[in-house]
Amino acid sequence: MNFYIASSFKNIESVRYIRGLFIKEGHVLTYDWTKNDRATIEALKCIGQKQKDAVIAADVIIVLLPAGKGSHIEMGIALGRRKKIFLYSPNKEVNNSATTSTFYHLPEVKKCFGTLDELVSMVLG
């Protein structure tokens, strides 16, 4: 299975943890944005293309909240391409009407609460 993990830099350790578990099981990460540093505008063009291509190449997209603008765009690409999407909300913030997004509640978005290991089990299940 090809997979992509969308999130923000503040979740970088969680992304790396999940990445390692999936790779250990023989799955392929389509792009590892955690290897990037904060980038210049010029570098962002290249990174953005790589991330877009990675979402398109993935069978499964995992979105870890809290996520940034880019993650939500990646989720939008995944929705438009009818990818399997797993949304991880450790504090159930997706159920907070003041901060949630309508797109989090589409039937094709599978929500996961709990630990990162429970998320991995859900995706691999």
Q: Which helix (H) or strand (E) holds 3?
A: strand 2-6
21-61 pLDDT tens trace: 999 999 999 999 999 877 788 888 889 999 999 999 999 99
93-122 pLDDT tens trace: 899 888 899 999 999 999 999 999 999 999
**Total number of domains constituting the chain:** 1
pTM of the model as a whole: 0.93
Mean pLDDT of 85-97: 92
Which domain does 104 fall in, by range?
2-124
What SS3 class is residue 90? coil
Report the CATH number at residue 59. Answer: 3.40.50.450
Residues in the chain: 125
